[in-house]
């Protein structure tokens, strides 16, 4: 098992000011970090890959798509921009020594049609992801497709949706991830859901129901860890939490109040929680 921390708690851009935080996370006992991948500069990520390697931190990455690069858009220009941006994200992963790219890059975050996905949107999404998966395979990067709750997207809102999507893409480098925050909203029976998507799950976001310190809220943690253990999961447990540090993320994640003492406290207590829960199940 590997334990990681998503850096979006602090930043959406990698700068030298982040180095003390990275050194602190390493000292706490984290195995790696999840890099935000929004500014798609290969040289930049290659440099940060070397820095993180020197710090002894492994890395995964997360990216999203928006209205101008939406892979399911009816507009061909927007679809092609989405495919190109996803491929560029994979190139940045390769440059940084990243093997797993996660996120809801199947469609545009926060863009809604007022209805569920049409057959045409679904097929455009599958066709686009096939192209991206082929590129990912060439780069030896695995895609971890993330479903989101109904308030953030409408293409993939459940594990069942995502398993079906992955099966239709039908590429060995296209898999899915499980996020406890979204599952807490959308899934009724945690153990059965985790079992149903176990064969396709390559990554897990550990995220509390209010996006604060894992273990401090209402996610059904016992059922979650029991089911992950029972299915033989042995990938990343990656904390994803959000705060008030970044105005753009505040607007996107709808975090209007501070729900933890400090980012360091959240990281330290969250790591202890994950390790403690997994230790119980050895």
pLDDT in tens, 260-269: 999 999 999 9
3-state helix, strand, coil in the chain (%, to 5): 50, 15, 35
Question: What are the residue ranges of helices labelled H in 187-281?
Answer: 190-196, 221-230, 247-253, 263-280
Dihedral sign for Cα 156, 162, 168, 173, please.
positive
Neighbours of 190 (CB within 10 A): 21
pLDDT, tens digit, for every residue of 35-45?
A: 999 999 999 99
CB 203 within 8 A of CB 102: yes
Question: Could you give the CA distance from residue 134 to residue 87 in angstroms, rounded to a whole number?
Answer: 9
Q: Which residue has the higher pLDDT, 251 or 97?
A: 97
pTM of structure: 0.97
Both structure tokens of 130:
């096939």
Instruction: Tell me the per-residue pLDDT of 6-54, one tens digit each, with 9 for 90 and over.
Output: 999 999 999 999 999 999 999 999 999 999 999 999 999 999 999 999 9
């Amino acid at each position: 098992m590997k334990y990681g921390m998503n850096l979006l708690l602090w930043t959406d851009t990698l700068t030298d000011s982040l180095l003390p935080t990275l050194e602190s996370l390493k000292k706490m006992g984290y195995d790696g970090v999840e890099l935000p991948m929004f500014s798609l500069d290969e040289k930049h990520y290659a440099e940060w890959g070397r820095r993180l390697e020197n710090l002894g931190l492994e890395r995964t990455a997360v990216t999203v798509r928006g209205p101008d690069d939406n892979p399911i858009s009816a507009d061909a220009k927007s679809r092609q921009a989405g495919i190109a941006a996803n491929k560029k994200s994979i190139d940045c992963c390769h440059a940084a020594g990243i093997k797993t790219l996660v996120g809801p890059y199947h469609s545009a975050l926060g863009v809604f049609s007022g209805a569920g996905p049409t057959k045409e949107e679904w097929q455009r999404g599958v066709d686009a992801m096939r192209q991206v998966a082929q590129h990912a395979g060439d780069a030896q990067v695995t895609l971890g497709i993330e479903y989101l709750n109904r308030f953030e997207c409408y293409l993939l809102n459940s594990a069942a949706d995502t398993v079906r999507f992955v099966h239709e893409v039908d590429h060995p480098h296209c898999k899915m991830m499980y996020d406890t925050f979204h599952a807490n909203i959308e899934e009724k029976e945690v153990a059965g859901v985790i079992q149903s998507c176990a064969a396709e799950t390559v990554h897990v976001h550990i995220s509390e129901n209010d996006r604060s310190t894992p273990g401090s809220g209402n996610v059904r943690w016992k059922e979650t860890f029991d089911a992950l253990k029972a299915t033989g999961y042995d990938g990343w447990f990656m904390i994803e939490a959000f705060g008030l540090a970044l105005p753009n993320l505040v607007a996107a994640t709808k975090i209007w109040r501070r729900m933890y003492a400090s980012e360091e406290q959240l990281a330290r207590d969250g790591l202890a929680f994950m390790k403690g829960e997994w230790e119980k199940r050895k």
